[in-house]
Amino acid sequence: MREESALVQQFFLVIEYLAVISGGLYGILLAKRHGMDFVGLFAMAFILAFGGGTLRDLFLDRHPLFWIRHQEYALILFGMAFGASFFRSLSDAIEKWLHLPDAFGLGLFSILGTSFALEADVPWFIASLLGVVTGSFGGVMGQVICNEMPNLFTSSPLYATCSFVGSWTFLLLSLILSVEYATLCGIAVVVVFRLAAVRFDLRLPNRSESSSS
């Protein structure tokens, strides 16, 4: 955490790669659960890793889209899906271990989304929502395609909430700190909050009576 901006940039780049890879891994796991072939594995990896950021870029009219600018992200996902197509299933161990990169991915994509929105002079509340969309809508799209109810919307351990709280941490700290530090703090809040939610099974209270199964 030196003040040298170049170091911070490299740190961000590493995290962004991790975020794309973890999004891709989740996509592949989801595709495997539904018995998809290589095309399905790649498509789901693509949708989980790029879905939220694509919505953000379209909503904010940012072009070219981030995965069009960074061809290497799609190539990595292609390689991952290709490799995964040789395995019958991925071990449960991997699925458990995934919470870590996923939390980093949620953190980075959320704060990136919020800060891009801020750059575009979007009001704060909307900026925080765009952070949540960026961080979590890839998963929503993936589950909708697989005809699963998005577990973001039901009482799973906190996910969108971590992203929302981290986005506001970033927004408030950006008033008193440099953007780099505010970004790092925002990401840290999302990551720690999300890992705590998984570890201690934190959920929102839910009084809705489900009439579906």
Contact residues: a copy of itself, CB under 8 A = 31-41, 43-44, 46, 54, 58-61, 63-65, 67-68, 71, 74-75, 78, 85-89, 120, 122-126, 129, 140, 144-147, 149-150, 152-155, 159-161, 203-212
Shortest distance (Å) from residue 83 CB to a copy of itself: 12
Distances in Å between the Cα of 23 and the Cα atoms of 3, 4, 130, 145 are: 29, 29, 18, 16
| Separation CA 136–CA 159 (nearest Å) | 8
| Separation CA 6–CA 168 (nearest Å) | 25
> Of 153 and 200, which has the nearer Cβ to a copy of itself?
153
> Which residues are CB-neighbours of 32 under 8 A, at least 6 positions away?
41, 84, 89, 90
Shortest distance (Å) from residue 63 CB to a copy of itself: 4
Shortest distance (Å) from residue 11 CB to a copy of itself: 25
**CB-CB neighbours of 37 under 10 Å:** 10
> Of 1 and 212, which has the nearer Cβ to a copy of itself?
212
> Of 161 and 174, which has the nearer Cβ to a copy of itself?
161
**CB-CB neighbours of 158 under 10 Å:** 20
Shortest distance (Å) from residue 23 CB to a copy of itself: 16
Bond before 64 cis per omega within 30 degrees = yes
H helix or E strand, kind and range, residue 38: helix 38-59
Query: To which residue do tokens 């939220």 refer?
Result: 52
Shortest distance (Å) from residue 159 CB to a copy of itself: 8
Shortest distance (Å) from residue 184 CB to a copy of itself: 25
> Of 33 and 99, which has the nearer Cβ to a copy of itself?
33
> Of 10 and 89, which has the nearer Cβ to a copy of itself?
89
> Of 143 and 192, which has the nearer Cβ to a copy of itself?
143
Tokens representing 76 are: 């990595």
Helices 5-33 and 71-84: crossing angle in degrees, nearest 10, is 40
